[in-house]
Amino acid sequence: MENSENIRILLAEDDENLGFILKDFLEISGYDVVWVKDGNEAWTSFQSNLFDICILDVMMPLMDGFSLAKKIRSTNKNIPFIFLTAKAMKEDKIAGLELGADDYITKPFSTEELGLRIKNILKRYIFQHTNSCNTFKLGKIIFDYNRQILLFDDSEIRLTKKEAEVLKLLCENKSKILRREVALQEIWGDDDYFMGRSMDVYITKLRKHLKADPGINIKNIHGTGFMLEIIENGK
């Protein structure tokens, strides 16, 4: 994905000057950046926001970058992250890479270098996850369930958690009837009338999100449920 628009970055850097420079550079480059200055604040922000990549300083107050990465990995095994550090010791780089870091940059470094590394990691990440069991090709649209986004050409549409869950069930039952009560129990844990009305709202929203490809259709099956139909090339 060439376009950086809508890519959200968690930047955890306690150095005021460097943090300001990096945030400014990344925002000028088109990224949405949340900058935090200690490990605890970074963890809190990660839990309450959806990020596409994390940039973590190793030496931070309250919680260091390695410990933060472990917590992030415990809840999201797929999100890419980069370590920033003043340490040049081989052992530290190995420790970072063993935690699953996608890159490790030693200070000082240029903002342009960081920007290129971010682009390369995101391209690789999108390519790898296009083939994952939680990524679905819907005509001209790619649905990435893990990141809760729809990709179409150079555009992105972010989905809510419930929208993503409903669409995933439809994808898993493509060209088959998804019974209303099954979906309600699976996602809401209840199949009463009010939950059913809520699901109808999400179906309507998904239809709007998917209209970029006229070959995609979520059909109402009267009295039963829904069916996702895809006609390739809109024919």
The CATH number for 79's domain is: 3.40.50.2300
- Cα–Cα distances (Å) from 59 to 65, 73, 181, in that order, read 6, 18, 50
18: containing domain: 8-130
- Give the pLDDT confidence score for residue 2 in this predicted structure: 42
Tens-digit pLDDT profile for residues 9-27: 999 999 999 999 999 999 9
Q: What is the pLDDT of residues 63-85, one digit of tens each?
A: 888 899 888 888 777 788 898 88
Domain shared by 24 and 110, yes or no:
yes
Percent of the chain with pLDDT over 90: 32
* pTM (predicted TM-score): 0.55
Last residue of a domain, one of 75, 105, 130: 130
Shared-domain flag, residues 84 and 147: no
Angstrom distances, CA of residue 186 to CA of 148, 162, 167, 228: 18, 11, 12, 17
Q: What is the pLDDT of residue 235?
A: 43
Output the average pLDDT for the chain. 83
Residue 1 in any domain: the answer is no
Per-residue pLDDT tens digits for 138-193:
888 988 887 888 988 778 888 888 898 899 999 989 899 999 888 888 887 766 66
- CB atoms under 10 Å from CB of 132, counted, come to 12
Tell me: do 162 and 94 sit in the same domain.
no
Q: Is the pLDDT of residue 1 over 60?
A: no
Total domains in the fold of the chain: 2
Tokens of 120: 């390369």
Contact assessment for residue 148 and residue 160, using Cβ atoms and an 8 Å cutoff? yes
For residue 141, being part of any structural domain is answered with: yes
21 and 126 together in one domain:
yes
What is the band of 5 on the pLDDT scale with cuts at 50, 70, 90?
low
- Give residue 217's pLDDT: 93
Beta strands across the sheet bearing 225-230: 177-179, 225-230, 216-221
Among residues 95, 130, 165, which one ends one of the domains? 130
Residue 230 and residue 143 share a domain: yes
**Final residue before a domain boundary, out of 130, 164, 187:** 130
- Band (pLDDT 50/70/90 cuts) for residue 92 is low
**pLDDT score at 137:** 85
Q: 147: helix, coil or strand?
A: coil
Output the CA–CA distances (angstroms, integers) from residue 160 to 146, 148, 155, 221, in the order listed: 12, 7, 17, 24
Q: Which of 49-53, 93-97, 179-183 has the lowest mean pLDDT?
A: 93-97
**CA–centroid distance for 192 within its chain:** 31
